[in-house]
Amino acid sequence: MTERTNGTGRTDDRRDVVLVTVDAWRSDVVNRMPNLRERARSEGYDRSMAVSQSAATHGAFPPLLASQHIVQAYDPDGRVKPTVTPLPEVLREHGYATAGIVASNPFLGKWTEYFDHFWNDGMATDADYTGDRYSTVDKAQRFLRLKQRVDATDVADRASAWYRRQDGPRFLWMHLMDAHGPYFPGLDGGRRVGLFETYSTLFNYHLRDDTSPEVLSGLRDLYEQCVERLDERLSSVFEFVDDDAVVVVTGDHGEEFDHGFHGHAQLYDECVTVPFLSKNLRHPVGDCSVRHLDLAPTVVDELGLPIPAEWEGEPVDGTERPSLLCNHAPLLDRTYVGVRTDRYKFVKSFHDERWTVEGRELYDLRADPDERAPRDDPDTAAELEATVDAFLDRDDVDLGVIRETNTGIDDDVEDRLEELGYV
């Protein structure tokens, strides 16, 4: 593995590293999380915003875990290329024990081999994954109780048990699904929305494919209740972590409610901007937006270790850097590729079957932060499109792999994908 020096001249250290990712966590919902805000204030967390390089989990994690885009990191079967060097592998080579605890997401099973210990709700390892615990009766009971399959407390319990068994140093990744659909906020959250409205919204959306404005409004209410319920549980995620550990908390992507589609597909900021909280980093983030692509280099640099040469990102230093974005939206028959700067966003969309360019959109994020009115500025659009095209023309980029949605799990997980809204 070729490496870049970090250029600091510092000796490496062996502090723990804890990464917490929250699935479908919009950048605008931290104001609904008073417990998290108070913890950030009292424990010295730096709060900012991050830019995900994709609008969905499948494409969001190559940047997060390996500082490469999905179109670089996955092979035509949708699996991680053997040439990719993920963060946990780098840390393991430098003496770290590594663990990933995932709250039941099929798309994250492909990262199993890079961790000493990996748990993903029994998928790929539990022969009884399709047994009683995941039966139709179980689904019906969870629906009536408005209970997620695996919540943040479950993840924290497993993560804490592993963490306490290790002598250190430790790299721990926890992935939380509490804010992801189906939006089950518990019976208390359902009562706050109204139980009839809650059950009616979930039934009409998931079983009748009803996407009327009334149903989408109900879904947003339930999403916000799920966020508030997550806030009540987050203390269990942090309480066992050593005080001097490097901790990063961020979303993998956001959630779309405002542009005519529900889910996470298009490259609007509601899908690609997420909260970012960090602790014990030398360079506070401040008001700078952080690219997920820069997370792994930042962690390695913080520990005084060499940065793999193939990583695309750079250590966070307060500099605003352009973010390349890409996502495949099978329900819309579109592939989106774009670039986001501190002022502009340009998005180019391709039809899935013909690979023809179906649209070009330019937004001025300062004048139009909600991305409601595409801007007519041919010169700026041409400049940003040239950036997108130059990226797509690279020898190590294969746009075709973005349409492969192999989960990396051999067991039958079709029911779980359907429950999450992917099929």
Tens-place pLDDT, residues 410-423: 555 767 777 776 66
Question: What's the mean pLDDT in 240-269?
Answer: 94
Question: What's the mean pLDDT in 309-322?
Answer: 92
CA nearest neighbour of 117 among 74, 167, 173: 173
Question: What's the mean pLDDT in 191-202?
Answer: 97
**pLDDT confidence band for 225 (50 / 70 / 90):** very high
Q: How many other CB atoms are found less than 10 A from the CB of residue 308?
A: 22
Q: Is the pLDDT of residue 156 over 80?
A: yes
Give the β-pairing of 323-329 and 307-308.
unpaired
Helix (H) or strand (E) holding 324: strand 323-329
Q: Is the pLDDT of residue 9 over 50?
A: no
List residues bridging with 274 in a β-sheet: 50
**Tokens for 310?**
């193939």
Question: What's the mean pLDDT in 273-282?
Answer: 93
Give the relative orientation of helices 213-233 and 195-208 as an angle to the nearest 10 degrees.
Answer: 110
Q: What is the pLDDT of residues 78-137, one digit of tens each?
A: 889 999 999 999 999 999 999 999 999 999 999 999 999 999 998 866 555 555 666 788
Please give the single-letter amino acid code of residue 288. C
First to last CA, the chain: 38
DSSP-derived secondary structure for 361-417: EEEETTT-TT--S----HHHHHHHHHHHHHHHTSTT--GGGGG----S--S--HHHH
Q: How far apart are CA 230 and CA 50, in angstroms?
A: 20
The average confidence (pLDDT) of the chain is 91
Note the pLDDT of residue 417: 73
CA nearest neighbour of 66 among 83, 49, 48: 83
pTM over 0.85: yes
Cα 387 to chain centroid, rounded? 24
Q: How far apart are CA 200 and CA 216, in angstroms?
A: 12
Q: Are 189 and 222 in contact (CB under 8 A)?
A: yes
Q: Is the pLDDT of residue 10 over 50?
A: no
**pLDDT confidence band for 72 (50 / 70 / 90):** very high
Q: How far apart are CA 265 and CA 270, in angstroms?
A: 10
Q: Which residue has the higher pLDDT, 139 or 418?
A: 139
Note the pLDDT of residue 287: 67
How big is the chain, counted in residues? 423
How many percent of the chain have pLDDT more than 70? 91
Q: Is the pLDDT of residue 150 over 80?
A: yes
Please give the single-letter amino acid code of residue 47. R
86, burial (CB in 10 Å: exposed 0-12, middle 13-18, buried 19+): buried
Please give the single-letter amino acid code of residue 266. Q
Q: Are 374 and 345 in contact (CB under 8 A)?
A: no
Q: Cα angle vertex 353, ends 350, 356, to 5°?
A: 35
Question: What's the mean pLDDT in 48-77?
Answer: 95
Q: Cα angle vertex 152, ends 415, 421, to 5°?
A: 25
Note the pLDDT of residue 391: 97
Q: How many other CB atoms are found less than 10 A from the CB of residue 87?
A: 25
Tell me if residue 117 falls in helix, strand or coil.
Answer: strand
Q: What is the pLDDT of residues 352-382, one digit of tens each?
A: 777 899 999 999 999 999 999 999 999 999 9
Tokens 């210990």 belong to which residue? 117
Please, what are the domains in the chain? 16-420 (3.40.720.10)
How many percent of the chain have pLDDT more than 90? 77
Q: Which residues contact 231 (CB under 8 A, 6 or more apart)?
A: 32, 33, 34, 35, 36
The C-alpha R_g of the chain, in whole angstroms, comes to: 21
Note the pLDDT of residue 13: 75
Note the pLDDT of residue 128: 53
